[in-house]
Amino acid sequence: MTSIKLKTPHSGEYEQPTGLFINNEFVKGVDGKTFEVINPTDESVICSIHEATEKDVDLAVSAARKAFEGPWRKETPENRGRLLVKLADLFEKNADLLAAVESLDNGKAISMAKGDVAACAGCLRYYGGWADKIEGKVVDTTPDTFNYIKKEPIGVCGQIIPWNFPLLMWSWKIGPAVACGNTVVLKTAEQTPLSALVAATLIKEAGFPPGVINIISGFGKIAGAAIASHMDVDKVAFTGSTVVGRQIMKAAAGSNLKKVTLELGGKSPNIVFEDADIDNAISWVNFGIYFNHGQCCCAGSRIYVQESIYDKFIQQFKERAQKNAVGDPFKHETFQGPQVSQLQFDRIMGYIEDGKKAGATIETGGKRIGDKGFFIEPTIFSNVTEDMKIVQEEIFGPVCTISKFKTKEEAIKIGNNTTYGLAAAVHTKNLNTAIEVSNALRAGTVWVNTYNTLHWQLPFGGFKESGIGRELGEAALDNYTQTKTVSIRLGDALFG
């Protein structure tokens, strides 16, 4: 069996595929292995799904290779774009179901899941638009030479995605890869395989030829590692932890030197100046850390507030955090659902204990909510020092630190006091401060008087240890194309 009937409170009964999606068909794994998918809201088993091992990765890669060398290579850019736009339309048509499955499996609030699905459609449609606009150049060197430079697809792309935005990462990865003419083997995170498989049915419905997009479920150390070290995968794109990012790069280096792009962790500073609109700044700071339960690589987890407004700010921020509705992801008013898994829950609680032991003060939160499901109170630590683990390491949960700064120079210095460089934010009404600080912060994205306002038209990615390459926007096309120079000698004059 490669599907099962499931139910969500939002969508009612639906058909959940459980197989590996290879060559446009759902199949069992070669070794017949399965694994359980856990509901983070009540810790029950949702279902079991088929697990990919190295052998299945081989099958998916050869399907992708065959499609790349065959029908997909011959497809016109216009048609590649048309298929992506069709896929975007199908995301919109099936938005309620996709969002419901996302909430069931990941625990994210249904209103946020709906936002994710809308952004998936936006992203797929945007890259559909790029498919026939990938252009080359003619370069004059000598009068008897004609040179043209063209962009070609890289080939078979392995894509490994995390559990925090299962569908969104699916579309960020597949959109640009397919627009540029590549084929794909995408592995979902073992915690959240369900929505990607529902979305896989739409790939077939949209009309993509078999093998162009293959979706497999499995574990990082087995299927993920097999992709990263595969000799017939031309490129690997990974989103996840910095620790695993390093392993992916090593695996690429130790195999066929496949191209690597990485979108990794962060410990982003959110800096509030005394002239900011305080109410707005509090809303964005709150959204910056607690959106998606703090499970964002760009979460604004280090909050720095200028001395003169610190006391007022912390009081109001605390009150605001306490008002965040935490609970059942299927209730429309819920803002924060459970953390994704027992492992993540334990990691976050471990950081909270560590912060307490290091002498930081819990302003609010710090505890589990209820005794079923992985719910954690929105937590704020004050009285922190820069060397504490809770200030330096990515917690990936609803936990932030807050401290004061005196001057702009100090804000820039502490803002940059991290090995990461994914995002940052500045809150101020002063244009000079906004620009000066934004330019000085070493981060791939800087938000001014806002937070987390990502858009598929804008590049996203990391400075420093937050990654290599950029996703989204035109910049993502660079990740999925390679440059070919063709130099033609003109005339028939004898050489030499």
Identified binder of ligand ADP from the candidate list 122, 153, 224, 288, rule CB under 6 A: 224
| CB of 451 vs ligand ADP, minimal distance in Å | 21
Q: Shortest distance, CB of residue 219 to ligand ADP, whole angstroms? A: 6
Q: Which of 162, 166, 266, 294 binds ligand ADP (CB under 6 A)?
A: 162
Q: Which stretch binds ligand ADP (CB under 6 A): 156-164, 299-307, 448-456, 483-491?
A: 156-164
Are 270 and 282 in contact by the 8 Å Cβ rule? The answer is no
Q: Is residue 241 close enough to count as binding ligand ADP by CB under 6 A?
A: yes
Residue (of 221, 29, 18, 224) closest to 105 by Cα position: 18
Chain centroid to CA 494: how far? 56
Question: By rule CB under 6 A, what string of x and - marks binding of each residue 248-267 to ligand ADP?
Answer: x-------------------
- Site map (CB under 6 A) of ligand ADP, residues 175-214, x = contact: ------------x-xx------------------------
* Residue with Cβ nearer ligand ADP (6 or 296): 296
Q: Which stretch binds ligand ADP (CB under 6 A): 223-231, 381-389, 435-443, 467-475?
A: 223-231
Residue placing its CB nearer to ligand ADP in the complex, 49 or 477: 49
Select the span of 35-43, 157-165, 327-335, 380-388 touching ligand ADP (CB under 6 A): 157-165
Tell me the backbone φ, ψ of residue 114, rounded to 5 degrees.
-65, -40
Cα 162 from Cα 187, distance rounded (Å): 9
Report how far residue 304's alpha carbon sits from residue 470's, in angstroms, rounded to the nearest whole number: 27
If you search the block for the tokens 């190295």, which residue do you land on? Answer: 54
Task: Dump the DSSP string for 234-288.
Answer: -EEEEES-HHHHHHHHHHHHHTT--EEEEE-----EEEE-TTS-HHHHHHHHHHH
For residue 349, the minimal CB distance to ligand ADP (Å) is 15
To the nearest whole angstrom, how small is the minimum distance from the Cβ of residue 411 to ligand ADP? 29
Number of residues lying near ligand ADP (CB under 6 A): 17
Q: If 0-12 CB within 10 Å is exposed, 13-18 middle and 19+ buried, where does residue 315 land? A: exposed
Nearer Cβ to ligand ADP (83/167): 167
Find the part of the chain contacting ligand ADP (CB under 6 A) among 49-57, 239-247, 371-379, 485-493: 239-247
Nearest residue (CB) to ligand ADP, 200 versus 309? 200
**Cα 69 vs. chain centroid, distance in angstroms?**
29
> Tokens 């099958």 appear where?
59
Residue whose CB is less far from ligand ADP, 219 or 330? 219
Residue 166 binds to ligand ADP (criterion: CB under 6 A): no
| Residue keyed to tokens 């509901």 | 39
Q: What is d(CA 359, CA 381) in angstroms, rounded to the nearest whole number?
A: 10
Q: Which residue has the tokens 């990263």?
A: 228
User: CA-CA distances (angstroms) from residue 162 to 18, 186, 297?
Assistant: 18, 11, 10
Site pattern 417..436 for ligand ADP (x: CB under 6 A): --------------------
Nearer to ligand ADP, 45 or 243 (CB): 243
Q: Does 220 bind ligand ADP (CB under 6 A)?
A: yes
Joined tokens for residue 54 = 């190295």
Question: Interaction with ligand ADP in 23-42: which residues (CB under 6 A)?
Answer: none
Among 38, 88, 134, 244, binds ligand ADP (CB under 6 A): 244
| Residue number, 91 or 165, with CB nearest to ligand ADP | 165
Choices 4-12, 74-82, 219-227, 428-436; region in contact with ligand ADP by CB under 6 A: 219-227
Q: Nearer to ligand ADP by C-beta: 216 or 282?
A: 216
Phi-psi region of 113 (alpha: psi -120 to 50; beta: other; left: phi over 0): alpha
Rounded least distance, CB 23 to ligand ADP, Å: 22
- CB of 122 or CB of 398, closer to ligand ADP: 398
Regarding 306 and contact with ligand ADP (CB under 6 A), the answer is: no
Q: Is 348 among the residues that bind ligand ADP (CB under 6 A)?
A: no
Q: Which of 228, 237, 271, 390 binds ligand ADP (CB under 6 A)?
A: 228
Sequence-ordered strand ranges (E) for 308-415: 361-364, 379-382, 399-405
Binding to ligand ADP by residue 46, rule CB under 6 A? no
d(CA 88, CA 92): 6
For the CA atoms of 306, 311, 313, 319, the dihedral, rounded to the nearest 10 degrees, stands at: 160
Tokens of 114: 């709906």
Cβ–Cβ < 8 Å for 387, 354: no
Q: Which part of the chain contacts ligand ADP (CB under 6 A), choosing from 47-55, 240-248, 305-313, 320-328?
A: 240-248
Structure tokens at 183: 């084929």
Query: Cβ distance 386 to 408 under 8 Å?
Result: no
Nearer to ligand ADP, 187 or 408 (CB): 187
For position 476 contacting ligand ADP by CB under 6 A, the verdict is no
- Helices 95-106 and 77-93: angle between axes, nearest 10 degrees: 70
Closest CA to 456 of 76, 120, 133: 120
Q: Is there a contact between 396 and 270 (Cβ–Cβ < 8 Å)?
A: no
Nearest Cα neighbor of 213 from 248, 188, 191 is: 188
| Position among 52, 57, 117, 225 found at the interface with ligand ADP (CB under 6 A) | 225
User: So which residues are the catalytic ones?
Assistant: 263
Interacting residue ranges for ligand ADP, rule: CB under 6 A: 160-162, 187, 189-190, 219-221, 224-225, 228, 240-241, 244, 247-248
